[in-house]
Structure 1
Amino acid sequence: MSRHLLPTLALAGVAAAFSTDAFAHCFVGARFFPATLATDDPCVADELSLPTVSWSKTGDFPPATAWDFSGEISKRITENFGISVGQDWTSIRQADGTLTQGFQNLETTLQYQILRDREHELAILSGVIVDWGRTGSTGSGLATDYSLVTPTIYFGKGFGDLPSSFSWFRAFAVTGQVGYEIPTSSFDFTQNVFIPQQLVYGASLQYSMSYLKSEIVDLGLPDFINHLIPVIELSLSTPVANNFGNPYTTTGTVNPGVIWVGSHFQVGLEAMIPVNRASGTGVGVLGQLHLYLDDMFPSTFGQPLFGASPTTPRKMTF
């Protein structure tokens, strides 16, 4: 892991000098980037996703029904450095009634905030994701004996710095991430197949109703509407190396949905639309309850472990 982590943190250390914000949550100036469901937001934070639940049909012939239940906790070690730990439990029922269920491998993520530019509503985050081999239900086939290491860059950009003539368009924002997934083994002897290296990437387009009200124009909409962030996400994976004998097929989903943002938590719901048959069958559903630990425990768990800021965390304006 250190072979990929050290260059990433070195880059982060050089760029960190340009950081202009040190808020919990993902605030960059007036812009709030919510925790998206299929991809990650571009900020370190103190937060808890519990639960995240999805239902979908696999691309098998005939398709199987898959349920996935997961939780993830994120904690800032310093203002700009954080760690996340997550675990998934999956249940897959084949058309003939065969049931496979168990835990996937434990996932940890180290992240460093490279940039928060208030004026341009721009955030950049570096990270290294590790799925630890043999930490899940390996006997069920839902977890692997080998680990996966994925150096990743995350970004977010709000359009609030556009000229005022763009009016309502300035409430839009985009986020995204690009990672290179590297398995610690090149061949799976249990399945007798090569283990590919993959490009793992995704993006979101979102529209903040609270930003529209507070920064552009108050339309006098109901309070519930002002808490909404309509969003569409794209989450994809493409084999790029060590994929001998297998097609280089991109798989993933397009996820239109909406996030309701409160003062201490948010709730998100999205459809999961496979990009092709290899990605799944029909339309699935993804939902999440996400808790803002910095607002729930502002003087204890919601603070960085080291170098806590004396300033009050930025809050949403509705």
Structure 2
Amino acid sequence: MSRYAACCLALANLIALASIPDAFAHCFVGPRFFPATLAIDDPCVADEMSLPTVTWSKTPDTPPATEWDLSGELSKRITEDFGVSIGETWTQIRQPDGSVTTGFQDLETTFQYQLLKDSPHELALLAGVIVDWGNTGATNSGLGTSYSLVTPTLYVGKGLGELPDTMSWARPFALTGQVGYQIPTSSFDFTQSAFIPQQLVYGASLQYSMPYLKSEVIDLELPDFINHLIPILEANFTTPVANNFGNPYTTTGFLNPGVIWVGSYFQVGLEAVIPINRDSGSGVGVLGQLHLYLDDMFPTTVGQPLFGGTPSTPRKLTF
């Protein structure tokens, strides 16, 4: 069995074994639950951990190399509305000739503030700043950089629960998105003899919540496993917009169709990774993630904000 198939099988087994009837979740806006999406971020601050996130893909080189990314991220609320996360990614790139490059990418931290949670309109807004710290990764292998990247970012989530009764079938739909402007701390990379562009980094997700369908629209008496599912389509893109002298302003990105299974204290997601063009990658990859809800697992201890938090009963999803 290939490593690709083994990864998919392991994630499928984990989903199948998790059959808890009730789920608690951290990103509620009114009756709407926004799951932690895999390719972009969800629009809420929370105490949570993604470990592991595994990606298999092929690079855009000719002939392409095979790339494995293994990452983890820990998010912690400092106050009810302000949170910080820290993430790291280990990468292995195997060339067609058998040579292998391995190492850590630059350390990433994110600072986020919850601007709005409008329950009646199922609307959430979040502002953040992502920092990829230079000289913290494997610069000798080309996996890290000598400069940092600072990306002010706005996140949004909107449920469609306000649709009229004639469109009740569409109420479980929700949209999330983010847009950021990535600014390098240096304008020129002397090791590569190339300008470092400023880039627009943006993405969105379209999701259909089976838990919402059952609890807020109609109970179709589907199997319990189906009622835990959120089918999803994610997309993320990067477009150079400034300081890109001598290089084409080509947009790169990926489409990620997949599904998220929501459990009591965790979720499991599995998505395909489809490059939008040859500059983005070769063929179809796979992305899988185990995501833990620390604020639901430990609501009175590590799941509380460091300042101003009070113990509360976790919000329950109905299946």
- How does the TM-score come out when normalised to structure 1? 0.92
The one-letter amino acid paired with 1:296 is: M
**SS state at 2:72 partner:** strand
Quote the residue 1:202 is aligned against: 203
Asked whether 1:225 is paired with 2:210, we answer: no
Distance 2:205 2:164 in 1: 23
Counterpart for residue 17 of structure 2: none
Maintained 8 Å contact 2:196/2:243: yes
Letter in 2 for 1:72: E
1:305 alignment partner in structure 2: 306
Residues 16-67 of structure 1 show CA distances to partners (whole Å, capped at 9, x for unaligned) of xxxxxxx971100000000000000000000000000000011101000000
Q: Is the 8 A contact 1:79 1:309 kept in 2?
A: no
Instruction: State the 1:315 CA deviation.
Output: 2.2
The answer on whether the counterparts of 2:25 and 2:33 sit within 8 Å (CA) in structure 1 is no
Amino acid at match of 1:180: Y
Aligned to 1:147: 148
Partner of 2:3: none
- Indicate whether 1:314 and 2:312 are aligned: no
Which amino acid counterpart does residue 299 of structure 2 have in structure 1?
Answer: P
SS, match of residue 317 in structure 2: coil
Q: Which position in structure 2 is the counterpart of 1:260?
A: 261
Q: Does 1:105 align with 2:106?
A: yes
In structure 2, C-alpha distance between the alignment counterparts of 1:316 and 1:135, rounded to whole Å: 40
- In the alignment, the residues of structure 1 paired with residue 104 and residue 311 of structure 2 have an alpha-carbon distance, to the nearest angstrom, of 40
Between 162-171 and 263-272, report the one with greater CA deviation.
162-171
The whole-number CA distance in structure 2 between the counterparts of 1:152 and 1:100 is 31
CA contact (8 A) 1:106 1:131 kept: yes
The alignment partner of 1:150 has SS state of strand
Aligned-CA RMSD value: 1.0
Q: State how far apart, in whole Å, the 2-side matches of 1:225 and 1:295 are.
A: 22
Q: Which residue of 2 aligns with 1:246?
A: 247
Aligned residue for 2:188?
Answer: 187
- Residue 168 of structure 2 aligns to a residue in which SS? helix
Q: TM-score, normalised by structure 2?
A: 0.92
In structure 2, distance between residues paired with 1:284 and 1:189: 32
AA aligned opposite 2:40: T
- Does the 8 Å contact 1:24/1:46 carry over to 2? no
Counterparts of 2:89 and 2:236, CA distance in 1: 17
Deviations 1:183-229 (A, max 9, x none): 00000000000000000000000000000000000000000000000
Stretches of structure 1 that go unaligned for 5 or more consecutive residues are 1-22
Question: Are 1:45 and 2:46 an aligned pair?
Answer: yes
Quote the residue 1:278 is aligned against: 279
Tell me the equivalent position of 1:156: 157
CA contact (8 A) 1:56 1:285 kept: yes
- Code of the residue aligned with 2:116 in structure 1: it is L
CA distance in 2 between counterparts of 1:190 and 1:292 reads 41
Q: How does 1:115-154 map to 2 (within 5 A)?
A: 115-154=116-155
Q: 2:56 and 2:211 mapped to 1: Cα distance?
A: 30
CA contact (8 A) 1:255 1:271 kept: yes
AA aligned opposite 2:123 = L
Range 254-263 or range 306-315, more displaced = 306-315
Contact 1:49 1:71 (8 Å CA) reproduced: yes
Alpha-carbon distance in structure 2 between the residues aligned to 1:112 and 1:275: 31
Cα displacement (A) at 1:164: 2.0
Runs of 4+ displaced beyond 3 Å: none
Contact 1:31 1:121 in 2 (8 A): yes
User: Which structure is higher in RCO with an 8 Å CA cutoff and minimum separation 6?
Assistant: 2
Structure 2 residue 64 is matched with structure 1 residue 94: no
1:259-314 CA deviation, whole Å, 9 max, x = no partner? Answer: 00011000000000000000000000000000000111111000011111343221
Provide structure 2 residue ranges, at least 5 long, that are not aligned to the other structure: 1-23
What is the aligned partner in structure 1 of residue 178 from structure 2? 177
- Preserved CA contact (<8 Å) 1:24 1:44: no
Residue 114 (structure 1) aligns with: 115
Paired amino acid for 1:27: F
SS of equivalent to 2:163: coil
Residue 64 of structure 1 corresponds to 65
Write the letter of the residue equivalent to 2:72: G
The residue aligned with 2:77 is 76
